[in-house]
Structure 1
Amino acid sequence: MSPSGSFWVGSVPCLSLGLLCLLGVSFWRAHWHRGFSWDGSALQFNWHPVLMVAGLVVLYGYAVLVFRAPFTWRQKKLTWKLVHAGLLLLALLLSVLGLCAVFDNHRSLNIPNMYSLHSWVGLCTVIMFAFQWLLGLSGFLLPCSPLWFRSNLKPVHIWMGKAILILSLASCISGINELLFFTLNGSSGDPYNSLPVEAKFANSLGLLIVAFVLVVFGILSNDNWQRPETVHESVPLMLNENST
């Protein structure tokens, strides 16, 4: 099978799992926790898990696979750099909005912030994500970026991208577990250790997120889907323009 054909076979589970993660987290907060609002109440908090899964995991995972699609290899790399950067910026904005949702909810209800490991890992992930995006912008999209800087930045950029995805996974599954402990053990219904329907659903959602991230890493690890580099593409944009 050609690289293009095998890529699409591998990408279908990735696309499907990402959509299932979004649908799953939205259904969880809508069905068991009464939906969404932006009024400082618990309904505003419901935006937090939805936006974090959408931004930090699903959209981020799709964005890091942009250069792996063989149909993009014959097209200008700059175009797909802009697509990659745009998707990541949207993912970052959704993540920041997700943080705003939880901080505003905590402030309205006088709930302390940043006391759990989930909170620390999540905030560090978003900060690292923002730094990574700015670093990528300065290194790979600005025409004044020197070649030596790009060359040295590339392995760091790749490592940070994978690290952010791992931290995002850790943040999401720890957040799901934390929410289940708080809501189920503090309610009058069945406790978490009796594994009620909500717990089964949310635990399954966590497994879906794990599966999505594993598929993304599987695609990233396949050398057959690595975009071939050319000398022309490795030269900064300003030099390319001056040479034409």
Structure 2
Amino acid sequence: MAMDGYRGFLALLVSALLVGFLSVIFTLIWVLHYREGLGWDGTGLEFNWHPVLLVTGFVFIQGIAIIVYRLPWTWKCSKLLMKSIHAGLNAVAAILAIIALVAAFDFHNAMNIPNMYSLHSWIGLAAVVFYILQLVLGFLVFLLPFAPLSLRAFLLPIHVYSGLLIFGTVIATALTGITEKLIFALKSTGYSSFLPEGIFANTLGLLILVFGALIFWIVTRPQWKRPKEPTSVLLQPNGGSTEGVVGARAVNLDNNGDKSDSELNNEVAARKRNFTLEDAGQRSTM
């Protein structure tokens, strides 16, 4: 299936992957070269897992999960498979974010540092909580087959909007976290002195910001949505009889909102009414 503006999409996708990968690499260099490495002993080495896991999972992997439906090479895959990949990537990001929070709280408690006093911590914890709620709700409503179509149609635009809002909040959390860490880490040597670590970490922040901007641009272009997938829907008259089954055109739901369930229900209802009228007319002439 052809994609409008394929070359532009490919250029942006490669740019996003490159910038996102560089963000992860820069985070590792920051903690390994400037912050003495990684560990799990209650010291600053344990805290260093916090930025590494958040940038890797909450920023990079979440960004990929957001645009996975836009990849034209996956358009021949089943919708269920793509939903599973989308949910799986978000689940990995959530797990890494939780471990990152544990590292931060464990370090603070070991060093007798107060928890949850900064704007960064407030925004970050809120983002993790709402991200997990978003993941659970999306799994129950959109991945499992039990939710009614009307509920899916109602929650789909909320799911899409809240996903982008959470991702934007995560970007803001990462930027405030980098600034907060530099202020505390370089307070004795002078953050304002343009030290190499400060310049390097600020560059990391710019990479994260550019990555977020690229993801937002890719996911908000309507010409790059996953195409609609017509299938068959069978409606049975009241009573469960298979007599008079009507074929209708349906479209599976995904995060792109290709076609709402209300449109599908109206289309199916109209076809059913037409069948009922035709059947009644045939009986009246008998």
- The TM-score with structure 2 as length reference comes to 0.79
What is the CA-CA distance between 1:5 and the residue it aligns to?
4.1
Q: How many residue pairs get matched? A: 233
Partner SS, residue 35 of structure 1: coil
Q: Which residue of 2 aligns with 1:79?
A: 81
| Cα distance, 1:203–1:7 mapped onto 2, change above 3 Å | same
| Cα distance, 1:39–1:135 mapped onto 2, change above 3 Å | same
Match of 1:233 among 252, 259, 263: 252
Partner SS, residue 118 of structure 1: helix
How far apart, in 1, do the equivalents of 2:30 and 2:81 lie? Answer: 37
Q: How far does the alpha carbon of each residue in 1:5-41 deviate from its partner, in whole angstroms, 9 at most, with x for none?
A: 4422220001001100000011001101110001111
How do 1:1-244 and structure 2 match up within 5 A? 2-3=3-4, 4-185=6-187, 187=188, 189=189, 191-230=190-229, 231-234=250-253
User: Does the aligned pair in 2 maintain the 1:132–1:161 contact within 8 Å?
Assistant: yes
Greater radius of gyration (CA) = 2
How far apart, in 2, do the equivalents of 1:212 and 1:73 lie? Answer: 24
How far apart, in 2, do the equivalents of 1:47 and 1:182 lie? Answer: 17
Higher strand content, 1 or 2: 2
What is the CA-CA distance between 1:221 and the residue it aligns to?
1.7
Compare relative contact order (CA 8 Å, sep 6+) and give the higher one, 1 or 2: 1
What is the CA-CA distance between 1:2 and the residue it aligns to?
4.6
Q: How far does the alpha carbon of each residue in 1:77-130 deviate from its partner, in whole angstroms, 9 at most, with x for none?
A: 110100000000000000000000000111111111000000000000000100
Identity %: 42
How far apart, in 2, do the equivalents of 1:82 and 1:104 lie? Answer: 33
User: Does the aligned pair in 1 maintain the 2:58–2:94 contact within 8 Å?
Assistant: yes
Larger mean Cα displacement after TM superposition, 1-10 or 95-104: 1-10
What is the CA-CA distance between 1:194 and the residue it aligns to?
1.1
What is the CA-CA distance between 1:232 and the residue it aligns to?
4.0
User: Does the aligned pair in 2 maintain the 1:61–1:213 contact within 8 Å?
Assistant: yes
| Cα distance, 1:113–1:124 mapped onto 2, change above 3 Å | same
Consecutive unaligned residues in structure 2, runs of 5 or more: 230-249, 254-259, 262-286
User: Does the aligned pair in 2 maintain the 1:7–1:70 contact within 8 Å?
Assistant: no
How far apart, in 2, do the equivalents of 1:14 and 1:175 lie? Answer: 22
Higher helix content, 1 or 2: 1
How far apart, in 1, do the equivalents of 2:3 and 2:146 lie? Answer: 38
Consecutive unaligned residues in structure 1, runs of 5 or more: 237-244
How far apart, in 1, do the equivalents of 2:163 and 2:252 lie? Answer: 21
Q: How far does the alpha carbon of each residue in 1:28-79 deviate from its partner, in whole angstroms, 9 at most, with x for none?
A: 0110111000111110000001111111111100100010111222221110
RMSD: 1.5
- The TM-score with structure 1 as length reference comes to 0.92
Partner SS, residue 132 of structure 2: helix
User: Does the aligned pair in 2 maintain the 1:7–1:69 contact within 8 Å?
Assistant: no
| Cα distance, 1:94–1:127 mapped onto 2, change above 3 Å | same
